[in-house]
Amino acid sequence: MTPPRPAPLRAGRPALRTTRALLAASLTLFAPSARATDAPATATAASLETLTAADRRAATIGYELQTHGLSFCTHQTNLPGWVVQDASQYRADFRAAAERLYHLDQGPAVTALVPGGAAEKAGVEVGDVLRGINGKALAQEPSAQRRAISAGYEQVIGALDKAFADGPVSLDILRGGRPIGIRLAGARGCASDIQVDISSSFNADADGRTIGVSLAMLRYADTDDGLAFIMGHELSHDILGHAEMLDGEHVKRGLLRSIGKNRTRILDTEQQADYLGIYLAASAGYDLDAVDRFWRRYTHDHGLGLFGDGTHLGDRSRIRFIAAAIAEVRATRTQGLPLVPDYPQFLARFRASAATPSH
């Protein structure tokens, strides 16, 4: 369908923070072929609810991976376990519906909660408008600047990230027009924001602080187990600091990615992310059989085929690599030992087995 597609699950596309803007801008994916402004209000609301369901699913899997993977990451924070959005993320013709549905006209609001997550347990509800955090106003009244695409969102997420990193927070919430206060400690987890990226490509990204997973990938992943591996792979890039590391080494990840050291360095980080991604999915309790099945199906449907550029393992090798990581986790569990990833040792064993023709 789309022959020269990029390698899947690549790391490091910059400026992922703005993808919510793309998300809103691409709502026509759901709307009928009519221009969005002509779409009936109910269709608009349904589109937004579809997006919210995708947000909730990605946030929930991310939360599971981040909280259960605590022992694998040094950059930790307190995770609220919610999805917060701001009116500035929505294209003008969808903004009214978004404001109506989530009270975004009154400020940034909670549009979804991770079931059983910290925010839900603390009594936060969908539709709660966030007015302040730790006594400071979170966002100004709607202004021209805030209305610029994503500007408000950047401001809100930045303030929330900072507050939660410091510990329990006091939230000033507007619920049904009435101000209430909620204290929210958050759950300890690996630091990364989760974003659903509107995109028709089967992709996921990590830029060091944000994990993006495309709506197409969310739809394709028919089980949460498969999606947990995809997101675990991306979380691994963030945990291992790959984006920053490759930038520091002046490794080119764009058009020059398959040239010289760029290729080998990227390939190395991709394999590390596959390996740790399996450990993260396993630690969060996802079914590794389902992960294996998902990856084989994905490769069959969307593999690199002949288009591989060397920055990722070839289709068959990558299936074997992932299966070997799964086998290592299973063996560790059979022995009753804790899951402690050891990538260099794994890689040496994998390479030795790859040199054996019977494998």
* Interacting residue ranges for Zn ion, rule: CB under 5 A: 9, 11, 270, 273
Helix (H, G, I), strand (E, B) or coil at 353: helix
Q: Residue 6 CB, nearest distance to Zn ion (Å)?
A: 11
Q: Residue 273 CB, nearest distance to Zn ion (Å)?
A: 5
Helix (H, G, I), strand (E, B) or coil at 84: strand
Provide the terminal-to-terminal Cα distance of the chain, rounded to the nearest Å. 32
Q: Residue 259 CB, nearest distance to Zn ion (Å)?
A: 18
- Give 317 or 332: the residue with its C-beta nearer to Zn ion: 317
Q: Residue 312 CB, nearest distance to Zn ion (Å)?
A: 8
- Give 150 or 271: the residue with its C-beta nearer to Zn ion: 271
The closest residue (CB) to Zn ion is 9
- Give 207 or 292: the residue with its C-beta nearer to Zn ion: 207
- Give 57 or 312: the residue with its C-beta nearer to Zn ion: 312
Q: Residue 207 CB, nearest distance to Zn ion (Å)?
A: 11
| Total number of residues shown for the chain | 359
Q: Residue 193 CB, nearest distance to Zn ion (Å)?
A: 17
Give 176-237 as a DSSP string. Answer: TTEEEEEEE--EEEE--EEEEEP-SS--EEE-SSEEEEEHHHHHH--SHHHHHHHHHHHHHH
Q: Residue 208 CB, nearest distance to Zn ion (Å)?
A: 13
- Give 103 or 253: the residue with its C-beta nearer to Zn ion: 253
> In the chain, where does DSSP find H-type helix?
19-25, 41-68, 92-102, 118-122, 144-147, 151-166, 215-220, 224-239, 242-248, 260-283, 288-302, 315-334, 343-354
- Give 110 or 204: the residue with its C-beta nearer to Zn ion: 204
- Give 270 or 292: the residue with its C-beta nearer to Zn ion: 270
Q: For residue 195, list its beta bridge partners.
A: 212
For 275, the token pair is: 């390996």
Rounded Cα distance between 18 and 89, Å, is: 8
* Of residues 195, 168, 198, the one with CA closest to residue 183: 168
